[in-house]
Structure 1
Amino acid sequence: MTAPLRHGSDTGRPVPSGLWRDVDFRRLWVGQTASQLGEHASLVVLPLFAVLTLDASAGQLGVLRAVGQAPILLLSLFVGAWVDRWRTRTTMVLADVGRALALGAVALAGVLGLLGLPGLLALAFAVGALSVFFDVAYQVSLVRLVDRDRLVRGNSALEGSRSAAQIGGPALGGALVSLLSAPVAAASGALFFALSFLSIRRIRRAESIPERPEGPPRVRQRISEGLRFVAGDAALRAVCLASAAFQFSFAAMTTVYLLFLPRVLHLSGTVVGLALAAAGPGALLGSLLAARLPSRFGHGTVLVCAAVLGDGVFLWVPALHGSSAVTVPVLLAVGFVFGLGGQLVNVTVMAVRQAVTPDGMQGRAAATITFVGMGMTPLGSLAGGFLAQEWGLRAGLLVTAAGMLLSPVVMVLSPLARLGRELPASSD
Structure 2
Amino acid sequence: MLAADAVRVVAFAGLAAMIVAGRASLPLIIVVAVVETAAGTLFGTTEHAVLRGIVPAEQLPDAVARNEARGYGVSLVGPPLGGLLFGIAHTLPFVANVFSYLGSMIGVALIRRPMRPAREATPEKYGAALAEGVRFVAGEPFLRAVLFIAAPLNFAINGVIFTIVVSLQRHGTAPAVIGLTETVIGVGGLIGAFAAPMMQRRWRPATLTRLICLVATALLLLSAVLMTGVAAAVPIAVTLFLAPACNAALFGRLAATTPDRLQGRVLSVIFLAAGSASAAAPLLAGLLTTVWSGTATMLIFAAAVAVSAVVATVSHGLRQPAPELTTTRQAP
Fold shared per TM-score above 0.5: yes
Checking the alignment, whether the CA contact within 8 Å between 1:170 and 1:276 is kept in structure 2 is no
Cα separation, partners in 2 of 1:168 and 1:409, compared to 1, 3 Å: farther
Q: What amino acid maps onto 2:260 in structure 1?
A: D
Find 1:157's aligned residue among 57, 66, 87: 66
Checking the alignment, whether the CA contact within 8 Å between 2:226 and 2:232 is kept in structure 1 is no
Q: What amino acid maps onto 2:145 in structure 1?
A: A
Cα separation, partners in 2 of 1:107 and 1:199, compared to 1, 3 Å: same
Q: Which residue of 1 aligns with 2:300?
A: 399
Give deviations 1:157-199, integer Å, cap 9, x for gaps. 222222322332344446667x668755444444433332232
Q: Report the 3-state secondary structure (helix = DSSP H, G, I; strand = E; otherwise coil) of the residue aligned with 2:262.
A: helix
Q: How far did residue 359 of structure 1 move?
A: 1.4
Give deviations 1:89-111, integer Å, cap 9, x for gaps. xxx22222322443445555556
Of stretches 108-117 and 161-170 in structure 1, the one that deviates more from structure 2 is 108-117
Between the aligned partners of 2:254 and 2:19, the Cα distance in structure 1 is 42
Cα separation, partners in 2 of 1:102 and 1:276, compared to 1, 3 Å: farther
Cα separation, partners in 2 of 1:100 and 1:333, compared to 1, 3 Å: farther
% identical aligned pairs: 25
Q: Report the 3-state secondary structure (helix = DSSP H, G, I; strand = E; otherwise coil) of the residue aligned with 2:212.
A: helix
Cα separation, partners in 2 of 1:231 and 1:185, compared to 1, 3 Å: same
Q: Which residue of 2 aligns with 1:276?
A: 182
Q: Report the 3-state secondary structure (helix = DSSP H, G, I; strand = E; otherwise coil) of the residue aligned with 1:291.
A: helix
Give deviations 1:93-135, integer Å, cap 9, x for gaps. 2222322443445555556665554334322211111011111
Q: How far did residue 357 of structure 1 move?
A: 0.8
Give deviations 1:126-145, integer Å, cap 9, x for gaps. 11110111111111221110
Q: Report the 3-state secondary structure (helix = DSSP H, G, I; strand = E; otherwise coil) of the residue aligned with 1:424.
A: coil
Q: Which residue of 2 aligns with 1:133?
A: 42
Find 2:168's aligned residue among 261, 264, 286: 261
Checking the alignment, whether the CA contact within 8 Å between 2:53 and 2:114 is kept in structure 1 is no
Cα separation, partners in 2 of 1:182 and 1:252, compared to 1, 3 Å: farther
Q: How far did residue 253 of structure 1 move?
A: 3.2
Between the aligned partners of 2:214 and 2:5, the Cα distance in structure 1 is 35
User: Equivalent residues in 2 for 1:28-107 (5 A)?
Assistant: 92-107=1-16
Find 2:311's aligned residue among 407, 410, 426: 410
Q: Which residue of 2 aligns with 1:424?
A: 323
Q: How far did residue 241 of structure 1 move?
A: 0.9
Q: What amino acid maps onto 1:278 in structure 2?
A: V
Give deviations 1:68-105, integer Å, cap 9, x for gaps. xxxxxxxxxxxxxxxxxxxxxxxx22222322443445
Between the aligned partners of 1:404 and 1:111, the Cα distance in structure 2 is 46
Between the aligned partners of 1:191 and 1:229, the Cα distance in structure 2 is 39
Checking the alignment, whether the CA contact within 8 Å between 2:212 and 2:239 is kept in structure 1 is no
Q: Which residue of 2 aligns with 1:32?
A: none
Q: What is the alpha-carbon root mean square deviation over aligned residues?
A: 3.2
Q: Which residue of 2 aligns with 1:75?
A: none
Cα separation, partners in 2 of 1:216 and 1:163, compared to 1, 3 Å: closer
Cα separation, partners in 2 of 1:172 and 1:416, compared to 1, 3 Å: farther
Q: Which residue of 1 aligns with 2:258?
A: 357
Q: How far did residue 382 of structure 1 move?
A: 2.9
Q: Which residue of 2 aligns with 1:200?
A: 108
Q: Which residue of 2 aligns with 1:44?
A: none
Q: Which residue of 2 aligns with 1:34?
A: none
Find 1:223's aligned residue among 130, 152, 155: 130
Q: Which residue of 2 aligns with 1:47?
A: none
Q: What amino acid maps onto 1:217 in structure 2?
A: E
Q: Which residue of 1 aligns with 2:75?
A: 166
Taking CA–CA contacts closer than 8 Å with sequence separation of 6 or more, which of the two structures ends up with the larger relative contact order?
2
Q: Report the 3-state secondary structure (helix = DSSP H, G, I; strand = E; otherwise coil) of the residue aligned with 2:174.
A: coil
Checking the alignment, whether the CA contact within 8 Å between 1:174 and 1:273 is kept in structure 2 is no
Q: Which residue of 1 aligns with 2:287?
A: 386
Q: Which residue of 1 aligns with 2:330?
A: none
User: Equivalent residues in 2 for 1:237-256 (5 A)?
Assistant: 237-256=144-163
Between the aligned partners of 1:393 and 1:106, the Cα distance in structure 2 is 36
Q: Report the 3-state secondary structure (helix = DSSP H, G, I; strand = E; otherwise coil) of the residue aligned with 1:213.
A: coil
Between the aligned partners of 2:23 and 2:184, the Cα distance in structure 1 is 33
Q: Which residue of 2 aligns with 1:299?
A: 205
Cα separation, partners in 2 of 1:386 and 1:106, compared to 1, 3 Å: farther
Checking the alignment, whether the CA contact within 8 Å between 2:200 and 2:245 is kept in structure 1 is no
2:196 maps to 1:290: yes
List gaps (5 residues or longer) in structure 1: 1-91
Q: What amino acid maps onto 1:226 in structure 2?
A: G
Checking the alignment, whether the CA contact within 8 Å between 1:307 and 1:342 is kept in structure 2 is no
Give deviations 1:341-362, integer Å, cap 9, x for gaps. 2212211111121121111211
Find 2:51's aligned residue among 142, 156, 167: 142
Q: Report the 3-state secondary structure (helix = DSSP H, G, I; strand = E; otherwise coil) of the residue aligned with 2:291.
A: helix
